[in-house]
Amino acid sequence: MRRVIKFIGVFFTIFIIVAGIYFISEKVRFNAVVIHHSASSVDNYQSIAEFHRRERGWGDAAYHLILSNGSTEIPLGFLEATGRYRYLAPSVATKNMYYNLRAIHICVVGDYDKHQMPERVQAALIDVAHQLQEKYWIADDKIMFHRDCSSSSCPGRLITKEKLQRWLASETSRCPILLKMQHEKIIGGAWNLVPLAGRAVAGFGGQAFGLLRSLLLTGPLPGQPLA
Ligand SMILES: [Zn+2]
């Protein structure tokens, strides 16, 4: 009888430790969202990945997530996850190593140096930002632009901090429910494909890197977070 109680005790302890690692490794993996634009009018995951493989020699698109502007067969506002998101790999989208590792990089298709972001795309972007914040416990001041991390006009001169602040504060209900569900599926499903060991390494590895960096380097981190 005592052996049975001991076995149950050990089993539950292991269960709680594994469940704890599973839960916390997700929350510590990312600490920021970095927004980009494609600087093109027609694009999607497939074409961006092809371009980055061919022109830059990267194994996948530089970003974690790509938001459609409806210029291809991917409907407007639909989200696509690249291999980097599915396997929690670092991005190569900026010259800032810290935010390449610690941030989720999302590319909105469109050229926002030249055109205003259509309202429906903007509503979809804000819904994605809110869902990512909730899933990974990301603070409001960590919704950033590429140009906060390294020298670039990305995500376009027509997208300003004032606009972003206003959009973030506005109702997310402007995003249609079917789109919200599509975002939820992409954002939620991808991470679950990663086995526990990989998840723990990716989650705590990122955290360890951030800690090491703050111990070794003094002064603020590169890039100005949203004021
Ligand atoms: Zn960018």
Tell me, in angstroms, the distance from the centre of ligand 1 to residue 205's CA: 24
Pick from 158, 125, 157, 156: which is nearest to 143 by CA?
A: 125
- Structure-block tokens of residue 188: 């939620």
Question: For residue 112, what are the domain limits?
Answer: 30-189
Residue 178 lies in a domain: yes
Asked whether the beta carbons of 207 and 27 are under 8 A apart, the reply is: no
Residue 204 lies in a domain: no
Tell me, in angstroms, the distance from the centre of ligand 1 to residue 141's CA: 18
Ordered DSSP codes for 165-217: HHHHHS-GGGS-HHHHHHHHHHHHHHHHTS-HHHHHHHHHHHHHHHHHHHHH-
CA–CA gap between residue 86 and residue 107 (Å, rounded): 16
CA–CA gap between residue 171 and residue 169 (Å, rounded): 7
* CATH number for the domain harbouring residue 131: 3.40.80.10
Tell me, in angstroms, the distance from the centre of ligand 1 to residue 56's CA: 15
Residue type, 71: S
Asked whether the beta carbons of 33 and 104 are under 8 A apart, the reply is: yes
Structural domain total, the chain: 1
pLDDT in tens, 56-72: 899 899 999 999 999 99
Tell me, in angstroms, the distance from the centre of ligand 1 to residue 151's CA: 10
- Structure-block tokens of residue 113: 């140096």
Q: Which of the residues in the chain have pLDDT under 70?
A: 171-173, 214, 217-227
Asked whether the beta carbons of 211 and 205 are under 8 A apart, the reply is: no
pLDDT for the residue 29:
87
Residue 17 lies in a domain: no
Residue 137 lies in a domain: yes
Residue 223 lies in a domain: no
Tell me, in angstroms, the distance from the centre of ligand 1 to residue 180's CA: 24
Residue 224 lies in a domain: no
What pTM was computed for the model? 0.87
